[in-house]
Amino acid sequence: MEELRERALVELFGALEGKYGPNYECKYYPCHFHGQDCSLCFCPFYPCLLYDLGGEIKITSNGYVWNCQNCFWIHRPENVEEVLAALSGYSRQQLIEGDWYFFNSILQRLYYGSEFGIWEGEAYNLMPAMLRNECEPVEKAEFLNVILEGFEIQSIHRCTSVEGEGVFIPLKEDEKLFGLLNGNFVVCKV
């Protein structure tokens, strides 16, 4: 996984020197759509844990992974432009040393216009970023506590309260998100 992170940074630094757009030589091109921008193929925000961008949690034989197959956002030329403009405001050293929270708050500001994740003690509650669409109260809802080590998902547990450490995100089932918002259990549309 560290290798993946290194690759993402190397690619990012290359893109900061001058992005190259579609990579017609890649055997997977176009992995998302014709004309896509491949500059950030190894996404610097991975694993963003933000369903709104199209990613989701998958269970594989190697455990939990954040699957980005349906994220088109990072490949749209105008978004690549915006990401590179934002990240060019940091030194290479800051980008190398930046942890998951550093990158995730940048992504939230780019995508939502503001950071909606909230620190609650050692816990980082990312649910307010995603529970925004046609929410309704429910009696009880389980959501997910994601434990990260660096940029790697170590474990994921279902839970019903925000306590302890790690990142808390809604549970996604079909096109519904279950979680806790302002102290109330809710179900919202993705």
Q: Which residues bind ligand SF4 (CB under 6 A)?
A: 43, 45-48, 50, 53-55, 68, 71, 73-74
Rounded least distance, CB 73 to ligand SF4, Å? 6
Q: Which is nearer to ligand SF4, 66 or 168 (CB)?
A: 66
* Beta carbon nearer to ligand SF4, 55 or 166: 55
Nearer to ligand SF4, 73 or 116 (CB): 73
Shortest distance (Å) from residue 98 CB to ligand SF4: 15
What is the per-residue DSSP string for 75-125?
Answer: GSHHHHHHHHHHHTTS-HHHHHH--HHHHHHHHHHHHHSS---EEETTEEE
As measured in angstroms, the least distance from the Cβ of 44 to ligand SF4 is 8
Residue 140, beta-bridge partner list: none
CB of 78 to ligand SF4, least distance (A): 14
Other beta carbons within 10 Å of 91: 9
Q: How far is the CB of 42 from ligand SF4 (least distance, A)?
A: 9
Nearer to ligand SF4, 44 or 179 (CB): 44
By C-beta, is 45 or 143 nearer to ligand SF4? 45
